[in-house]
Amino acid sequence: MSRRQVGRADGRAAALGLTGDDTGCTVLHADMDAFYASVELRSRPELKGLPVIVGGGTRGVVLSATYEARRSGVHAAMPMGRARRLCPQAVIIQPSHGQYAEVSRGVMEVFRSITPAVEPLSLDEAFLDVSGALRRLGSPSAIATALRDRIADEQGITVSVGVAASKFVAKLASSAAKPDGLLVVGVADTVPFVHSLPVADLWGVGPKTHEVLTRLGLTTVADLAHTPVRTLERALGQAQGAHLHELAWGRDPRSVVPETRGKSISADETFSRDVDDPRVVHRELLRLSERVAARVRGEGMVARTVVLKVRFADFTTITRSRTLRQPTDLGRDVHAAAVQAFDGLGLDRARIRLVGVKAEGLQPLETAPLQLELGAPEHGWRDAERAVDDLSRRFGAGVVRPGTLVDRKSAGRAHEAGHH
């Protein structure tokens, strides 16, 4: 399963006798590992392997803790005073909320480059329905592996992924895979897997419900599953009793509900090694701009704003936007704005890890009549770029490209990401 660590998940799968068959398992639950702490450790590698707690003040609460701190009993939402007593040797870091939001946006962009069916639950976890991506990207397991690799490469953090036929089981699988693992619970494996879990793992089982179930002698999901549903309904109420009975048999009909979000199209590139040559960056911006513009044209849209993203070697990320004098769907216009934004940064051999280009302020082409440049032919560049679109559809992306992109060795390409 690629180079991401899967030891714990493999051991768990072997212990349960899971087959790893992902046929029909098109729901993924992706959950970042110790998210806030992991983001902080990117710029503080000397703290890796130590107990680290992210939280504020003596009266605040723990936002995140590394697994080394968790072994002392520290967990999220715990009062900081108690966390300090449990793990006095821990390093305490004040939260950087802006940084977490930026990393979360990058992670969600990776998800949406795989499938538009993404349902975020928080900054650091989401459900994905990959049924529409199987033909393009391979099996659910292959998609999950690629997703994990890209997030590690582009964001410098790890993610655990559960693959299953339903949201409920996928979430249980990602929890079992932690940290930094991938676990597949096949359709035939669902009931044995769910029945092996403690009853507290079921959605909707809080402290009070757990107390009631314990009084009934129900400690595992298997115990609950084999309890008559009428007994559960009498003890918990009709709705909750019936709901928990369904979950105990792995039945969860809910679909992934995509988040409603503003329209934009973007593409990012993480270099295989950090680069500090502006010429290499300019070339990469051209490739990304051509790709973004092609997708803008494919949607029948034009863009009013171009956004440049630059991530440095220390994972610091900045964005700069340029509003165009008139909307465009041309790669040359997008590239010109991106290069202008990059050159305006005045970077002096700064080492760059990633660059990205985004088109925002999209509107339908027919509602945004385009003015001709002085001396330009009536169609010119637009017809040329649409001809390239036609060739790409017929013969594959990249069959025709600007001459400066023919030799791509110096670009240090590692990964591609197109987002919608």
Angle of the 229-236 helix axis to the 238-248 helix axis, nearest 10:
140
Homologous superfamily of 197-248 in CATH? 5' to 3' exonuclease, C-terminal subdomain (1.10.150.20)
Domain with CATH 3.40.1170.60 in the chain: 36-97
> Which one, of 100, 124, 108, 120, lies nearest residue 41 by Cα?
100
168 vs 380, higher pLDDT: 168
123-127, 226-230, 280-284, 407-411: least confidently modelled range: 407-411
Enter the tokens of residue 134: 């199987």
More confident residue, 250 or 416: 250
250: left (phi over 0), alpha (psi -120 to 50) or beta: left
Nearest CA-CA partner of 21 in 134, 146, 223, 184: 184
- 125 as an active site residue: the answer is yes
Residues making up the annotated binding site for Mg(2+) are 31, 124
* CATH of the domain spanning 265-419, picked from 3.90.1300.10, 3.30.1490.100, 3.40.640.10, 3.30.2130.10: 3.30.1490.100
Q: How far is CA 262 from CA 94, 244, 360, 364, in A?
A: 31, 36, 9, 14
Range in 187-191, 310-314, 382-386 the model is least confident about:
382-386
More confident residue, 35 or 98: 35
Q: What integer best gives the mean pLDDT of the chain?
A: 86
Amino acid at 58: T
Given the residues 68, 109, 125, 284, select the one marked as catalytic.
125
Average pLDDT, integer, range 11-30: 85
Q: For the CA atoms of 352, 42, 179, 79, what is the dihedral angle to 10 degrees?
A: -140
Measured CA to CA in angstroms, residue 289 lies from 107, 316, 352 at distances of 21, 22, 18
Token representation of residue 307: 């956004």
Residue 365's pLDDT band (cuts 50, 70, 90): confident
What is the pLDDT at residue 373? 45
* Token pair listed for 145: 């592996």
H helix intervals, 198-308: 207-215, 221-225, 229-236, 238-248, 278-298
Instruction: Give the C-alpha separation, 17 to 10, whole Å.
Output: 10
pLDDT for position 259: 73
Which residues are known binding-site members?
A: 31, 124
Fold for the domain defined by 36-97: MutS, DNA mismatch repair protein, domain I (3.40.1170)
What is the distance between the alpha carbons of residues 22 and 413, in angstroms, rounded to a whole number? 31
Number of helical (H) and strand (E) elements in the chain, helices listed first: 16, 14
Which band of pLDDT confidence, cut at 50, 70 and 90, is reported for residue 287?
very high
Quote the Cα angle for 212-214-220, to 5°. 120
Q: What residues does CATH 3.30.1490.100 cover in the chain? A: 265-419
